[in-house]
Amino acid sequence: MTDKHKSQKTVEGTPSDMARRRIAVFGSTGSIGTQALEVIAANPNLFSAEILTAQSNDELLVKQALKFQPNLVVIGDEKKYEKVKAGLAATDIKVFAGEKALEEAAGMDCYDLMLAAIVGYAGLRPTLQAIRQGKPVALANKETLVVAGDIVIKTAVENRVPIIPVDSEHSAIFQCLVGETRNKIEKIVLTASGGPFLGRKPNYLVNVKREHALQHPNWSMGAKISIDSATLMNKGLEMIEAKWLFNLEPDQIQVVIHPQSIIHSMVQFEDGSIKAQMGLPDMKLPIQYGLSFPQRIPNQFPRLDFRKFNTLTFEEPDMRTFRNLGLAIEALEKGGNLAAIMNAANEIAVYAFLRNRVNFLDMTDVIEKTMHKIPFIKEPTLEEYLESDGEARSYAADLIKL
Ligand code: NAD
Ligand code: MG
């Protein structure tokens, strides 16, 4: 075992209680995953990458593994196993493949903290496994909480496992809450950029294509979340994510459009005081904070200069045009398995839109019909959540004739 594989070793010249953390990057080839590896590479004394996983991008996974020398890698697509194995033949890095292997890797002891950066429902099982194993989770994968938030949070509480949000809005709220443990939240304000179609109306949206929807004004992100941002479903998912992370009632969560994406979100306390967390829109900051929490560590990221941003604006979201937000609020208020159903239908709708199989506005109809078709369960078990996900997926796929 090399030095870097030893657990919790305090490093000279770093904050005294900041032990070196062995990170498991689940979804290392994605937008969040690659930025996390940049953070890890910039802080070799503080972090190492011990597990890397990808679904199908074998070439990038091999390249990352050669650079970071993790303990093991997992490739989701089993057909790619031989290629990854061959690419890493000259190393002692272990290679696994398949969905089950992802969960097994999450249950291993060779890491200290999971960065959950898989996209979609696929992130749920490995994340839950890490929590059961007592591993802290830096959570980017919001769908995990949307699908089964009550079970994920209950498991985390039972195992005394911290979940540190990486989603920029939730990281902002989390940062505003540091030192406020005894103080109640009156409400939170989730800021939304409004996406590439801010101010547009249905007659415009009916014709937009994948290429337009993927052009986000402020953030460069994976395809699925880019479409979710364009439809405002992303903000809906984030409302549900916030409910579970911060134990809030639906009416304590407000969404406001803030096109400059400088205020990442806000918390209002019982005395009316509002705290905001601000900065340039750069996911590397919440990723780094998620990995280093509770410490802040220095970096070279560009700084916000207020003299260049003299106008910060706020407006109400247009819920008549962006109806996904209303559907998400319905799921937030009703609870049960409705958010899991909505999430599954949304994943199918986005998949179809990205392949030009449905138009932009049809996505909402697919989600709405699926939400009102699949049987509602008030207090689902994990199995029932998974079943609802499957039923919703096949119903939505049938609607689109996928
Ligand atoms: P992405 O599509 O760029 O990357 C997804 C990663 O997950 C890739 O490594 C991919 O190989 C892996 N993956 C995809 N499908 C998988 C499957 N079925 N099984 C196992 N692995 C699979 O996505 P992203 O933009 O990095 O987003 C990741 C998560 O972080 C999402 O839940 C997203 O909502 C959240 N998030 C992203 C951003 C951002 O700026 N990109 C910001 C906030 C939150
Ligand atoms: Mg976000």
Tokens matching residue 82: 């031989």
- Residue ranges for the chain with pLDDT beneath 50: 1-13, 16
User: Residue 367: inside a domain, yes or no?
Assistant: no
Name the strand (E) or helix (H) holding 51.
Answer: strand 47-54
Same structural domain, 161 and 63: yes
User: Residue 279: inside a domain, yes or no?
Assistant: yes
Of all protein residues, whose CA lies closest to atom 44 belonging to ligand 1? Answer: 167
Distance 295 CA to ligand 2 centre (A): 22
Among 136, 165, 194, the domain boundary falls at: 165
Same structural domain, 223 and 150: no
Same structural domain, 108 and 66: yes
pTM of the model: 0.95
Among 299, 318, 334, the domain boundary falls at: 334
The Cα–Cα gap between 76 and 141 comes to 17
User: Residue 85: inside a domain, yes or no?
Assistant: yes
- Structure-token match 């929490």, residue found: 293
The reply to whether ligand 1 has any atom less than 6 angstroms from the CB of 74 is no
pLDDT at 18: 74
Among 275, 300, 334, the domain boundary falls at: 334
The Cα–Cα gap between 103 and 108 comes to 9
User: Residue 230: inside a domain, yes or no?
Assistant: yes
Q: What are phi and psi of 304, to 5 degrees?
A: -75, 130
Of all protein residues, whose CA lies closest to atom 20 belonging to ligand 1? Answer: 55
CATH number of the domain that residue 53 is part of: 3.40.50.720
Distance 166 CA to ligand 1 centre (A): 12
Distance 119 CA to ligand 1 centre (A): 3
Q: Counting atoms of ligand 1 from 1, which one is nearest the CA of 55?
A: 11
The reply to whether ligand 1 has any atom less than 6 angstroms from the CB of 286 is no
Pocket test for ligand 1, best of 118, 145, 166 (most atoms within 8 A of CB): 118
Tokens matching residue 156: 């985390």
Same structural domain, 157 and 203: no
Distance 394 CA to ligand 1 centre (A): 22
Same structural domain, 228 and 106: no
The Cα–Cα gap between 58 and 349 comes to 26
Ligand number nearest to the C-alpha of 101:
1
Name the strand (E) or helix (H) holding 187.
Answer: strand 185-192
Same structural domain, 174 and 283: yes
The Cα–Cα gap between 194 and 192 comes to 5
Same structural domain, 178 and 135: no
The reply to whether ligand 1 has any atom less than 6 angstroms from the CB of 48 is no
Number of compact structural domains in the chain: 2
Fill in the DSSP letter of residue 10.
B
Identify which of 60, 59, 94, 101 has the alpha carbon closest to the alpha carbon of residue 78.
Answer: 101
Tell me the torsion sign for CA atoms 144, 165, 15, 28: positive
The Cα–Cα gap between 326 and 280 comes to 29
User: Residue 370: inside a domain, yes or no?
Assistant: no
Same structural domain, 178 and 316: yes
Q: Please check whether residue 75 is in contact with residue 61, taking contact to mean a CB–CB distance below 8 angstroms.
A: yes
pLDDT tens, residue by residue, 351-360: 999 999 999 9
User: Residue 120: inside a domain, yes or no?
Assistant: yes
pLDDT at 15: 53
pLDDT at 216: 80
Same structural domain, 41 and 139: yes
DSSP 266-309: EEEETTS-EEEEE--S-THHHHHHHHHTT------PPPP-GGG-
Amino acid occupying residue 148: A
Tell me the torsion sign for CA atoms 250, 253, 258, 263: negative
User: Residue 203: inside a domain, yes or no?
Assistant: yes
Same structural domain, 34 and 104: yes
Same structural domain, 62 and 200: no
Compute the half-sphere exposure of residue 252: CA atoms within 13 Å on the CB side of its CA.
19
The Cα–Cα gap between 275 and 158 comes to 30
Residue 215: which domain range? 170-334
Distance 17 CA to ligand 1 centre (A): 31
Pairing of strands 113-116, 21-26: parallel
The reply to whether ligand 1 has any atom less than 6 angstroms from the CB of 122 is yes
Tokens matching residue 357: 């199989």
User: Residue 81: inside a domain, yes or no?
Assistant: yes
Contacts of 190 (CB under 8 A, 6+ apart): 169, 235, 238, 239, 242, 253, 254, 255, 256, 265
Distance 142 CA to ligand 1 centre (A): 10
Same structural domain, 201 and 260: yes
Burial class for 238, CB neighbours closer than 10 Å (0-12, 13-18, 19+): buried
Q: Counting atoms of ligand 1 from 1, which one is nearest the CA of 120?
A: 32
